[in-house]
Amino acid sequence: MTFASEEPYDSAQLEETSENPTDARWYAVQVASGCEKRVKTNLEQRIQTLDVGDRILQVEIPQTPIVKMRKDGTRQQLEEKVFPGYVLVRMLMDDDAWQVVKNTPNVINFVGAEQKRRYGRGRGHVKPLPLSFSEVERIFKQTREQEPVVKTHVSAGDKIMVLSGPFKDFEGEVIEVSPERSKLKALLSIFGRDTPVELEFNQVQKQG
């Protein structure tokens, strides 16, 4: 799993922030569906234009690498959003920084709030609640350790044709899919009998 960012996350930031609550914290921001990258680009431009780079430090889109199996059996390297509809922002929360993020096109709102302090210059908005240190640590730890997930368009019940291996040109029906192993199990008609056979994703092609 990776983040769409040029600046790698330093776990020391957690330790420093946990000792001084006035330091930057991570916040989850809800955005319009499908607009995550657009929000990231627009927000980074606004940070520079409005000169708040000392308070809004990082904008991230949690993503994980996946390998998608095409219908012809070839593999396509892609990235998939971990939290569709959200971006993460590391910032020093004050009224001006809040306004910059909140007024970015396609931003809906910060996630979480508490009633101790209000933001938005009298508009009645409550202070966003930052992500806990354990949440941030878990997210970034997962991004460093996650192996690419293989995804296929084939599911149980689909008719398939075997493209390679000892059962090439055999037809059958998928009975089980194991994405974590990049394999599936299908019933193939061998010598007139339905026989379960384990196959790699790239060995089969969906029929119909």
pLDDT in tens for each of the 208 residues of the chain? 444 443 434 444 443 333 444 589 999 999 998 999 999 999 999 999 999 999 999 999 887 766 666 666 566 676 777 788 999 999 999 999 999 999 999 999 998 755 445 555 555 556 788 998 888 887 777 666 556 566 667 788 889 888 888 888 899 999 988 877 778 899 998 877 888 999 888 788 888 6
pTM for this structure? 0.61
In this structure, the number of other CB atoms found within 10 A of the CB of residue 83 comes to 15
Residue 142: predicted pLDDT: 64
Residue 113: predicted pLDDT: 57
CB 164, CB 203: distance < 8 Å: yes
DSSP 8-state symbol, 122:
T
* Alpha helices for the chain (secondary structure H): 12-19, 36-49, 95-102, 133-145
In this structure, the number of other CB atoms found within 10 A of the CB of residue 74 comes to 9
Residue 11: predicted pLDDT: 41
For 168-205, letters b (16+ CB in 10 Å) and e give: eebebebeebeeeebbbebbbeeeeeeeebebbbbbbb
If you search the block for the tokens 């056979």, which residue do you land on?
197
Each domain of the chain, given as residue ranges in start order, spans 2-150, 154-206
Cβ neighbors of 115 (< 8 A, separation 6 or more) are: 126
* 180 phi/psi in degrees, rounded to 5: -65, -20
State whether CATH 3.90.380.10 applies to domain 154-206.
no
Which amino acid is located at 81 in the chain? K
* 2-150: CATH topology: Alpha-Beta Plaits (3.30.70)
Residue 18: predicted pLDDT: 38
**Can you list the positions of beta strands (E) in 44-165?**
56-60, 62-69, 75-81, 86-91, 107-110, 113-119, 125-128, 149-152, 159-162
Residue 148: predicted pLDDT: 59
Two domains, one topology: 2-150 and 154-206: no
Residue 87: predicted pLDDT: 93
